[in-house]
Amino acid sequence: MRYTRLLFITLPVVLQPPMVVAQTSSLGVRSRHAIHKNPRALSTRENPLLERNVVYESYAWTSKKPAPPKTYKPGDLITIIVRQQRLYEVDADLQSRKRWEMTSDLVAFANLIKGGLGAAAFRRGKPNIEYEYESRLRNIGDTSREDRLTTRMAAKIIDVKPNGMLVLEGRASLMHDEEISKITVTGTCRKEDITADNTVLSTQIADLGIAVENKGAMRTTITRGWITRFLDWLQPI
């Protein structure tokens, strides 16, 4: 038997690592690129945007989707925290002085004579008038008043504007030892100003109207009588 020897020449082969191409078709990558290229202006009440992971949000057990914004409709209740304080001070001082004199003499006067009118002769002197008037007036007024109102009351949404503004109206009635207080609060607020516990401050309400009506023995004690009010209105002096 003949044996044929085959000679194999092995040449060195340089193996190159395969090229790794990043996957750019992911929804998460696309959304991140969109956020970085076109950042959205945030208001002062919004948290900064974070990079989203669509896979984590879709399949992770610990992921939690953000709650949709709360919507409001007429008839819903919102708690208003009323914190109003007013300090009113007025000082007035009025001084008035009047002085005037009047002097007049009658030089001639009509006199009936035969055939018409003529000048009258004043045998006892010319009639005259002398008048002198002097008046002094000084009024001093001082008023100081401080009001504070702090309370919490539920208000009802009576209307929702096309731009999302909420029209509120709240009424409350308190009775304590024959004293009755009726409070009415009206105004308009934004839904963004309503906190998570469904409250809004009175300082964040536009066109705020607060009416407080008191009835009882204390109100009667500090109320002026009708004669005093009539004299103040008439001001004879």
**What's the confidence (pLDDT) of residue 33?**
59
Flag the least confident range among 7-21, 85-99, 126-140, 203-217: 7-21
Averaged pLDDT, 180-185: 89
Please give the pLDDT value at position 78: 93
> Distance between CA 138 and CA 154 in Å, rounded?
50
Under DSSP, is residue 26 helix (H, G, I), strand (E, B) or coil?
A: coil
Coil vs helix vs strand at 97: strand
> pLDDT for 210-219, tens place per residue?
998 888 877 7
Alpha-helical regions (H) of 101-159: none
Q: Output the CA angle 47-49-25, nearest 5 degrees.
A: 160
Mean pLDDT throughout 67-94? 86
According to the model, what pLDDT value does residue 9 have?
Answer: 47
pLDDT at 80: 93
Task: Round the average pLDDT of the chain to a whole number and report it.
Answer: 76
Exposed (0-12), middle (13-18) or buried (19+): which is 169, by Cβ within 10 Å?
middle
- pLDDT at residue 38, rounded to an integer: 58
- What pLDDT, on the 0 to 100 scale, is given for residue 187? 94
**What mean pLDDT is predicted for residues 188-211?**
91
Report the pLDDT value the prediction gives residue 22, as an integer from 0 to 100. Answer: 46
Helix, strand, coil percentages (3-state) for the chain, rounded to 5, are 15, 45, 40
Give the model's confidence band at 86: pLDDT under 50 very low, under 70 low, under 90 confident, else very high.
Answer: confident
Does 159 score more than 90 pLDDT? yes
The yes-or-no verdict on residue 15 having pLDDT over 50 is no
Residue 227 predicted with pLDDT over 60: yes
Per-residue model confidence as pLDDT tens digits over 20-40: 444 444 555 566 656 556 555
What is the mean predicted confidence (pLDDT) over 105-132?
A: 77
Q: Residue 10's pLDDT is what?
A: 47
pLDDT at 150: 87
Band (pLDDT 50/70/90 cuts) for residue 168 is very high
d(C-alpha 180, C-alpha 27), whole Å? 64
219 versus 6: the higher-pLDDT residue is 219
